[in-house]
Chains A and B, each alone.
Chain A
Amino acid sequence: MSRRPNGRLRLTGTALAVFLVCVTVAASATVYQFFYANSTGTVRSPDVTLAAGGDASGSCTAYPCATVSVPSTSDTATVTLSLFKADATYTPPPSTYYTNLVQVKDANNPHSIIGVTVTSISSTSANDFGKIIVYYCTTQCTFDVNGNIASGTSAGSFSITSTAGGSLSGGAGFPQSIGVGATQYIEVVAYAGSAATTGDTITFKVAVQWS
C-alpha cells in the first residue's frame, strides 16, 4: 500500500491480495471457499503434573491428617484434609498446617505457572468457614508459631472465608516459572469456625493454570 502524490492511497501487491481474501470471506454467505488447516491431536502426558506431597497419608485415623489421590493422568488431585474448630478469641487461633500437601512438578521443559485460583467453594457449615488459607509456594513455605511465613517463597495465597473464590495473590505474584525437575507446592493452613460441628465439610478446587 502506498500513497499517491495526490494523497490518495493505492493498494498494491500483498495488501491487495489480503484485501481480496477478506472481501471473499465477507461474502461467504453466498459465495465461499474452504481453507483447511490439517491438525493432528496427539495424546501426551502433561509436562507439568500434580503429585501427592509428604503430608499425605494412606488413610486417616488420627488428626491432623490428609490424603491425596492422583490418577495416572497426573493432572488432577483429590485431597481430603482435617481441620479443627478454633475459638477465634485466641491469638493466634489454633490451626493445622499442611506445608507439603500437593506438589506441582515439571518434567521435561521449563514452563510458566500462569495463575492459581480457588473455585467451587461450598460448605455444610452455613457461613461459618473459620479460615482456610491456600498458598502456592515456589519453594516450600514454612510457618512460624504465629502462622506467618518463616521461610520459602509464596507466589500468592487466598483465604477462604465464604463461597466466593478468587485468585491467589499477595505473594511474589504470577506468572511464575517452573524449571525442569522443579517442584512447587500447594499448601494449606486451616481452622474451622467455632460454630462448626464435627463432620462438617468445606470443599474447594485449586486450579493451576500453566503453559
Chain B
Amino acid sequence: MVLAPGAERAGRSRRRLIAAFLAAMVAAAAAPALAAVYHVEYSGSTATVTGPSVSLGAGSAGSTAVSPAAADAATSTTDAGLTYYQSANAATGALSIDQSGTSTGNAPSRTVTLSATQASELIYVVAEMPLGTSVSGVTDTFSDTFRHRQTASSTGVTLETWYGSTGASSGSDTVTVSFSARAKVAILVFTVKGANTASPFDPSVRTAPSNFGTGTTASVLITTTYPNDILIGAAAVDVGASTSPSAGTGFTMINQALGGSGTVAGDYKVVTTTQTGATVSFTWTGSTDWAIIADAIVEAVPAATADTSLTSPGTSGSQVLTATTSAYLWSAAYSSGETLYPGVWTADLWASAATSGTLLVSAYAVNSSNNIVATLLTTGSTVTVGTSKGESKTTFSMAGGTVPANGRIMVVVTAPAGGPASFTLYWGSGQLTNFQTPPKYDYVLTISSPAGTSWNVNLAVASSSGIARLTNATVWLKVPDSPTYTVFSQQIALLSGAFTKSAGSSVSLAASTTMYVYLYATASSVGTSTIVLTLRVQPSSTTPYSLYTVVLTVN
C-alpha cells in the first residue's frame, strides 16, 4: 500500500507522540527511587573559644617560650650534657716578674736596660716626675709599641704608667722614657712573664684604678674578673718621706728608686682567685704627697688544643701544676655558637698532690681567638685532691653564657698560691680527666591546674628529629606530693638515639596544683635535637581531652 505524503507525516507524528509518552512513563517509574522517603536529623553546635583550664608555664631551667596564643603550646630549649675529655697537656707557667731596672736623673729622658728579656713578655713602665711634667713617649731597642696606661698626680708628684711587649724579640732591651721637659725624674721598668700580651689587662680594670693624697700610706682598691692575675702596684712618693716605701701586705717589692723629686716604686702579687676590693698599697714614714696606680695583668692562655674531643682519647699523659699555674680543658669548637644555660656542671679530675690540697676550678666561654667573653664559673670552686692518684668528681652550679661562633668552653684548673707544692693532673685512657656540661634541667615547664577540677595528664612523642646524637634522654613529670614534690613519673625515655618509651602513663593532677616537667639529656656530639611531645589533658570526671603541644629543643 502506498500512503499519501500527508498520511505518512501523520504516522511519523503519532509515533513520536507514543515514544514521548513511553519516555515519560519510564521517568515516572524511576522517580520514586530517587525521591526515596528519608529523614534528616540535626545536631546544632556552638563552639566557644575558651582559655585552657590547665595551662603550661615557663620552667626554671633552660629557656621556655609559651605560645602567646594560648597556654596550650610551648617550646623549651636546653643543652644536652656533653662530656669533654682532656686529650693533651695544656698548661701555662706562672705569672711572674722577670726583669726590672730603674733610672733617675735630671734629664729630658731616662733609659733602663733589661739584659735578658724573653719573647712575649709584657713591658711595664712606671715614671715619677714633678707636677707639670709628663711622659711624651716610650721606645725600646726592639721598636716595640708602647701605650699610655694611666696618670695620677698629687700636689707634689706625678705618676704615669705605660706598657708594651717584647713580641717575638728577646735578649737585651733598652727602654727609653722621654719627658715633656727636663726634670728630676725616676723610672722603673719591669717585664711580666706569662702575661697575655695581646689583651693584658683584666676586664674589671680597663681603666686602671688610681689614687693620691698626703700621708704615710698610698693605697687604692682593685677588683678583678679573672682569678689568675698578677696585681701590680705603682707609686710615686714625694721627697718628704723619711724612709723608702715598703710593699703592701701580701705584696712583693719589684724595685724602687729615689730621684730628685721623689721615689718611684712597684710591687706585685700573684693571685688565684677573683679579687673584690683588694687593697694595693705602699707604706713609709714621714708624711708626704703620694700618687698610686694599681693594675691587674691577666695570664696568657695557651691555644686551644686541636684534639679536644668528645670521645675518650687513645693516648694518655700528665702534667704538673706548681703554685699559681693552670691547666686548661676545652670543649670542641661550636661552629654556630651556643647558648649555655645555667646548671650543674661536673669536673671529673684524675689528680694527685704533693700534699693533700685543693685545686681551683673556673670556667669561661672564649671566642675563636681564645679570649674570654663570658665567665661561667668564678674561681673559688675547689676540688679536693689527695696524695694518691685518684678521681675527684665535683659538681658546680654554673652561670649561663654565650659561646660565640667557633668559640669554646674553657675550664681552668689552677694550683693555688700557698697550697701544695705541686699537683699532677692525669688525662687519657684509664684516667679520663673531663668536664661535663649540665644534663639535668629541673624543670623546663610547669603544668598548672585551676581550682575545683582534677585532671589526668600524660606525655607522648608526636615526632622527633636529630635524636641520633642523644645518648640518653628522659622526660619526667615531677608529681606534686605534698609537701616535698619529689615523686617522679617517667614519661619518655630514649637510649642511644632511639625511644625506649614513647608515651607515659596517666598521672593525676589535683585541683590547684602545679606539676613540673624535668628533662635529662646527654649527647655524643654538638648539634640540635628536637622532640615534639603532646601533653594529653583530660578532666578526671569527663571524657573530652585536649592534646597540648610541647617542643623540646635540645642543643
- A: residues with CB less than 8 A from B are 1, 6, 8-9, 11, 18-19, 22, 46, 48-50, 54-55, 57, 61-66, 75-87, 90-100, 102, 104, 114, 120, 125, 132, 145-147, 186, 188, 190, 192, 194, 196-211
Contact = CB atoms under 8 A, between A and B. Distances in A.
Contact of B544 (A8, A76, A98, A197): A98
Given A64-B539, A75-B41, A196-B49, A85 B462 contact: no
A92 B549 contact: yes
Contact of B42 (A9, A190, A207): A207
A50 B25 CA distance: 39
B50 A198 contact: yes
22 contacts: A11-B18, A76-B44, A77-B44, A80-B45, A82-B50, A84-B50, A85-B70, A92-B549, A94-B67, A95-B546, A96-B546, A104-B41, A145-B547, A147-B547, A199-B48, A204-B45, A205-B43, A205-B45, A206-B42, A208-B42, A210-B39, A211-B38
A55 B73 contact: no
A96 B40 contact: no
Interface residues of B, number: 54
Contacts of A98: 544
B545 A206 contact: no
Given A64-B544, A82-B48, A83-B48, 4 more contacts: A55-B544, A83-B49, A194-B69, A211-B39
Nearest to B539: A62
Nearest to A47: B39
Q: For the complex of A and B, list the 7 residue pairs with the smallest distance between their C-beta atoms, beginning with the closest.
A: A194-B69, A211-B38, A94-B72, A62-B453, A79-B45, A87-B67, A77-B43
B521 to A, nearest CB: 20
Contact of B25 (A18, A65, A125, A192): A18
Contacts of A197: 49
B140 to A, nearest CB: 62
B544 A84 contact: no
Interface in B49-85: 49-53, 67-70, 72-73
Contacts of A76: 41-44
B534 interface: yes
A119 to B, nearest CB: 9
A66 B503 CA distance: 27
B53 A50 contact: no
Contact of B539 (A65, A194, A200): A65
Contacts of B482: none
Contacts of B462: 92, 145-146
Contact of B46 (A22, A125, A201): A201
Given A62-B453, A211-B39, A84 B48 contact: no
Contacts of B69: 85-87, 194
B33 to A, nearest CB: 12
B47 A6 contact: no
Contact of A91 (B44, B67, B461, B532): B532
B7 to A, nearest CB: 10
A54 B541 CA distance: 11
B544 A97 contact: yes
Nearest to A77: B43
B182 interface: no
A53 B395 CA distance: 56
Contacts, number: 209
B72 A84 contact: yes
Contact of B49 (A6, A77, A85): A85
A208 B47 contact: no
Contacts of B315: none
Contact of B36 (A49, A147, A190, A211): A211
B47 A201 contact: yes
Interface in B121-172: none
Nearest to A122: B46
A209 B40 CA distance: 4
A94 B549 contact: yes
B9 interface: no
Contacts of B43: 50, 76-79, 102, 186, 205-206, 208
A65 B542 contact: yes
A25 B38 CA distance: 29
A196 B69 CA distance: 9
A83 B37 CA distance: 37
Contacts of B38: 114, 209-211
Contacts of B453: 61-62
A152 B129 CA distance: 96
A6 B7 CA distance: 14
A198 B70 CA distance: 10
A189 B503 CA distance: 21
Most interface-central of B38, B48, B543 (chain A CB within 10 A): B48
Nearest to B19: A9
B551 interface: yes
Contacts of B461: 145
B386 interface: no
Nearest to A195: B69
A125 B41 CA distance: 27
A66 to B, nearest CB: 6
Nearest to A130: B49
Given A48-B39, A97-B547, A145 B460 contact: yes
Given A6-B1, A145-B461, A197-B49, A66 B534 contact: no
Given A64-B545, A94-B546, A206-B45, A84 B21 contact: no
A159 to B, nearest CB: 13
B389 interface: no
Given A132-B47, A145-B460, A201-B48, A55 B42 contact: no
A91 B543 contact: no
B452 interface: yes
Contacts of A78: 43-44
Nearest to A129: B47
B430 interface: no
Contacts of B544: 55, 64-66, 81, 96-99
Nearest to A123: B47
B15 interface: yes
A96 B52 CA distance: 10
Given A81-B45, A204-B45, A93 B545 contact: no
A137 to B, nearest CB: 14
Interface in B518-549: 532, 534, 536-537, 539, 542-549
B548 A94 contact: yes
B539 A201 contact: no
Interface in B458-513: 460-463, 503
B167 to A, nearest CB: 55
B452 A79 contact: no
A49 B72 CA distance: 36
A80 B45 CA distance: 6
Contacts of A97: 544-547
A22 B547 contact: no
